[in-house]
Amino acid sequence: MQDELFRALVWTDYRLAVLFMVILPLILLIWAFVQKADAIVRLLIIYWRVASLLAITVYIMIATWPIGFASGFFARILIPISLWFWVDLNEDIEDRPTSPLKLSLTSWRWATTIYCLLGALWTIPSLGCAFAPKAIQKFSCSVWLEPPLLFKQYFHPTWTPQFLGFLGMTGLFFYVLYLSYFVLIRLGKQGRSAMEQ
């Protein structure tokens, strides 16, 4: 019974991730683009760059590679930072007249921030799956792999898990490379301004 409850919570987490991290920001991006709300479009493009770590994580987890647990955890930390970090975008959005788009964006930012931070706290125990030998074989770890494997069945039924994992690891390599460049070089030059993004 306890295992089934845990499985249900994991699946609920993935469903919430699809809602908050994919569907809603995609709707907001299209809406902001149509309304020509440049600051909101810029913020959402930055969001998609950062949130791509979630897609990378799914592909790594399809291959059942433990590093996916760590990348998923860090994605939940980086996403809220990306939503609130930029001083110029925050000011531009704040200065916009009240509108349904502005209200929707603000609501989504707060909801996503709360979801990510609570999710990060909730997934701290699963970080052991990334570092303990053979931990991935335990139920508490393997249950996290079920949604990515279902994703594979729907979207990549003929591809091998190892190839998809390779794509994920390649994406992770370039993600870490770009993040390192941004933190070590670009951040010092542009500070918290997104104008050069």
The arithmetic mean of pLDDT across residues 46-54, rounded, is 97
- Does the predicted TM-score (pTM) go above 0.85? yes
The arithmetic mean of pLDDT across residues 57-76, rounded, is 97
> What is the sign, positive or negative, of the torsion defined by CA atoms of 95, 98, 99, 101?
positive
Whether pLDDT at 197 is above 50: no
Highest mean pLDDT among 62-71, 127-136, 185-194: 62-71
Instruction: Determine whether 60 is exposed, middle or buried from the number of CB atoms within 10 Å of its CB (0-12, 13-18, 19+).
Output: buried
Q: What angle do CA 45, 46, 47 make, to 5 degrees?
A: 90
Contact 179, 56 (CB under 8 A): no
DSSP letter assigned to residue 98: P
Q: Which two tokens stand for residue 115?
A: 């979801």
Q: Which two tokens stand for residue 14?
A: 């993935």
CA distance 116 to 122: 10
Instruction: Determine whether 91 is exposed, middle or buried from the number of CB atoms within 10 Å of its CB (0-12, 13-18, 19+).
Output: exposed
Q: Which two tokens stand for residue 75?
A: 């994605």
The arithmetic mean of pLDDT across residues 47-76, rounded, is 97
Per-domain boundaries in the chain = 2-190
